[in-house]
Chains A and B, each alone.
Chain A
């Protein structure tokens, strides 16, 4: 760094304090640093000062042997609490500018987000009440529990806007607390991966075993598997729906066993939800995998599949659904959602609105502070 300044300063000091030269094994730069310390200037005026002890102190404080100059300096500055510091100060200019800046950045970003959200076309159809035949309107629970009554139901969805493939199919459940503490815990990740080999499934209670035999997959989450099914028709032609790859790849590969098959599932007296084909391995039961990713909010959507064809304006999609799942006993709601996606995901105006709101508030604050500053200069 400034090696020249260092050596010259040392040269000068060497003449005035010869003892230091002999005793101090301090690197030139450090020594210069040290010379700047007040008390060394008073060296000559203190004849009684024990120079050896000062040399000792110097060495201990400033120059641990064998390390580099800058780290010596840094340690010295650290111990003296004199590390170079940047002290930002809140000037009116800097604060007002930063608020303006936030506003100027946030409003356009918000508009872009809003635009992305608006570009998403979404059809939401709440079918849980309409799919109950009139005679059962007053006793929905009895209807849904009676397996002898056919549950088939037809819905007609009108497309308002052109929808480009892939169109995501979701089912939405409202007032469904998948995040309840006891529900969330009632599963066994090890069993999902290793199957019957893993038999410590106490966490799955109360759906741990049935008739003395373990249940695979165990637990309340799996037991309450969603089992409404949908088929989509345009006119008479069935739309191509892909039900593959709706679950996360990581779950299929690493969380659900490839050789684990459902066993003793939904065999009890109380049937929770859907059944599973015992011949298909868990890693291929994508509906189950999706379902097992519990939602954090009481209203949630889960993937059902993708329509791989475009839908045009004024197309009418006929949905043939089996209304199997009992949400009636706890006042839940079921919805079918068809939605395209943007870079931000599905239709959600919140981010865009929030950005615009935060941006405009900070511009407002900036103006307020500006006024305050003009009226009240300090």
Chain B
């Protein structure tokens, strides 16, 4: 029998979990005054079971507030001493003296972009930019007296040292994440010369430099800046011949108007113009870490969650950020294993070497991280998927740099295929695919717009709220759902078992002991409210959870909702059914054995027991909970008195008669004592002598005693399915003696973004329930 009430209760409760996230005042981003928001109300408890977090870097870990910090113009480094190029006297002097290199560099900074300047009433110029980098460059240029003043349809004005320079914009070669550069073709209105101005990532610009030009200084500069965790952009330009441009312009127009494969065609045409570039310099932009990022990552890693950083940035920048936000421990504890290579063979050897190191390493698995770049990743995913999967399982931390949005999604897919619960967090449009692919998508409603936040299941204002989202909301939701779903089965089974027992003494004819009104009201009125208020239950205070994030392990491994806990509830309902039934038929034997009376005695026995069961399973009582539990018991009597007062009802006068009989009350207390005694004894025994870590923390929290060492409850690395990856792992394969979570696991949970949700996903969980049973049986 499927208790339909479980579906209703779960839906109600889940929407409340989501509301709690929306309401949480500690997850408001005060700077933008945005609240956290749960768009998907169905997966709050999955938050508590996250095993992998895949995070974007820019805007997610960092503030995405770009500030131009350093630059290198034709081999001269500015801003190295002061740490701020805008205050570097040398640069200011160079600008003042009108050094042509510097001026060209500044021109590219100010012009090569898609920023729109807006003149405010007070005469100030505000810049509206899609890209934070561009805005930073334009601002910096303005600071260096190259002020981008105005932009019309085809012309732009620049105010340099109080003289207006006008340019005509001929074409804009837009930025795409594949090209990793953008260019602009302008015509100087004074000289009539045409220029191509380009800026982009070093690997997108340096290969297209003018042959013979010394690119080494630039490469070194890029390297140096990346080491400091700065984002680098290479700036270049080229003077175009009139004919060359005209010819190309036609092609470009044609490419722009094609219908098929336009993006690819445009990119190809752009490529034809972007060559023989004259390198001007390298700009370095700082993007500070958000507040609390290192602490958040530290805490969540303690909770046994593995972090993968997926970024479009350079390897060195990514590593620096990773180091500064506790992503990897610094040397010598932490080890970074690089996977690189340009060809299949190189990648293969590199991958094997890393795998070997991983297998034989003695360090904590989380101190070893591998670093892979987009190109190597592409090859690895294409040709060495099995080896890479093994690597993904062995290592708890990974840094993937220079990855494209689709690669991010592929990585999520890979982890999901190994049965891990993944959470993807990002802020920009390039993270949307990853967010949609992951079990749980979290979007940061940041400066790059709301694309990610809209596509995500949860949107938060700052990365540091993730800690609270997972440890507080996710964990509580999981615990509450675990209780609620098992309890719903318990209460329905209780009634079922009694009916089954009764059928044995009614000639197996299928007579219902309970009348139809009682049966109907049992799930709706008599038992649903006490369990619904368990949404207010907290096993541990938020502070304790934050201090001991390790206990999240109980959620991740499905310790609170698995076949064995389920069997416990099953056994409890069987035991309680026996108690209620046996006591009722013996106490109400012979002359008292009237059908309606006996049925109400058995029913009230069930109601009394369930009130005590909810009480004993509740960890903290708030006033609504107390009211719901005991008020519900009172309401049971009130409802039945009302029904008993209706002459037309079958149970006319029954409840009044019963309440006047001393036998009735004596029987009720007997049922409660006999039913709850063993339950309490068992619970106390396990609480005191076989305590789980949660119990230890509860005791410590409530009695104020010292917290004994929690020990290491780090889960063993899960061995992955053999048929997925036949490669053997030399590590001992300890499969956890824990089971898959039953109800709340939702690898194919209905996602908001993928079509309408199936209305009966409980039945899906049912089938999953059976499949995970069988899977566990196989494994044992």
Contact = CB atoms under 8 A, between A and B. Distances in A.
Interface of A: 37-39, 46, 48-50, 53-54, 56-57, 61, 78-81, 83-92, 95, 98-99, 102, 106, 109, 113, 168, 170, 172, 177, 179-182, 184, 189, 248, 250, 254-255, 293-303, 343-346, 348, 350-351, 354-355, 358, 361-362, 365, 369, 372, 376, 378
B31 interface: yes
Contacts of B663: 344-345, 351
Interface residues of B, number: 70
5 contacts: A53-B33, A87-B698, A109-B666, A301-B593, A346-B592
Contacts of B33: 50, 53-54, 56-57
A346 B684 contact: no
B591 A299 contact: no
A351 B587 contact: yes
A180 B666 contact: no
B683 A90 contact: yes
A254 B647 contact: yes
A181 B506 contact: yes
Contacts of B652: 250, 254-255
B666 A302 contact: no
Given A53-B33, A354-B674, 16 more contacts: A39-B26, A85-B536, A86-B620, A87-B698, A90-B684, A99-B681, A106-B673, A177-B509, A255-B652, A297-B598, A343-B662, A345-B591, A351-B587, A354-B587, A355-B670, A358-B673
Interface of B: 19-20, 23-26, 28, 30-31, 33, 35, 476, 502, 505-507, 509-511, 513, 536, 538, 583, 585-596, 598-599, 619-624, 647, 650, 652-653, 657, 661-663, 666-667, 670, 673-674, 677, 680-681, 683-685, 687-689, 698-699, 701-703
B591 A85 contact: no
Contacts of B702: 87, 89
Given A85-B622, A354-B674, A296 B509 contact: no
Given A37-B25, A99-B677, A184 B688 contact: no
Given A50-B33, A250-B652, A303-B591, A296 B513 contact: yes
B447 to A, nearest CB: 14
Describe A's contact surface by its main secondary structure: mixed
A172 B591 CA distance: 8
Contacts of A88: 621
B499 to A, nearest CB: 12
A89 B666 contact: no
Contact of B30 (A46, A91, A177, A301): A46
A351 B509 contact: no
A287 to B, nearest CB: 15
Contact of B677 (A53, A301, A348, A362): A362
Given A61-B23, A83-B623, A180-B506, A95 B680 contact: yes
Contacts of A376: 689
B589 A84 contact: no
Contacts of B596: 293
A182 B507 CA distance: 11
Contact of A350 (B23, B502, B589, B599): B589
- Closest CB pairs A-B (n = 5): A85-B620, A79-B23, A53-B33, A181-B509, A83-B622
A171 B595 CA distance: 17
Contacts of B673: 102, 106, 358, 362
A293 to B, nearest CB: 5
Given A50-B33, A177-B507, A179-B511, A293 B681 contact: no
A180 B622 contact: no
A312 to B, nearest CB: 24
A81 B20 contact: yes
A369 B590 contact: no
A345 B660 CA distance: 12
Contacts of A181: 506, 509-511
A295 B595 contact: yes
A48 B31 contact: yes
A299 B595 contact: no
A254 B19 CA distance: 51
Contacts of A343: 662
Nearest to B585: A297
B684 A351 contact: no
A179 B595 contact: yes
A345 B511 contact: no
B229 to A, nearest CB: 24
B687 A90 contact: yes
A250 B621 contact: no
Nearest to B620: A85
Nearest to A366: B681
Contacts of B689: 372, 376, 378
Nearest to A95: B684
Q: Which of B590, B594, B685 has the most CB of A within 10 A?
A: B590
A299 B589 contact: yes
B511 A113 contact: no
A210 B673 CA distance: 53
Contacts of B25: 37, 57, 61, 79-80
Contacts of B683: 90
A135 B599 CA distance: 44
Contacts of A255: 647, 652
Contacts of A37: 25
A274 to B, nearest CB: 20
A102 B672 CA distance: 11
B666 A80 contact: no
A342 to B, nearest CB: 10
B555 to A, nearest CB: 17
A51 to B, nearest CB: 10
Given A179-B506, A300-B590, A361 B31 contact: no
A99 B681 CA distance: 9
B621 A86 contact: yes
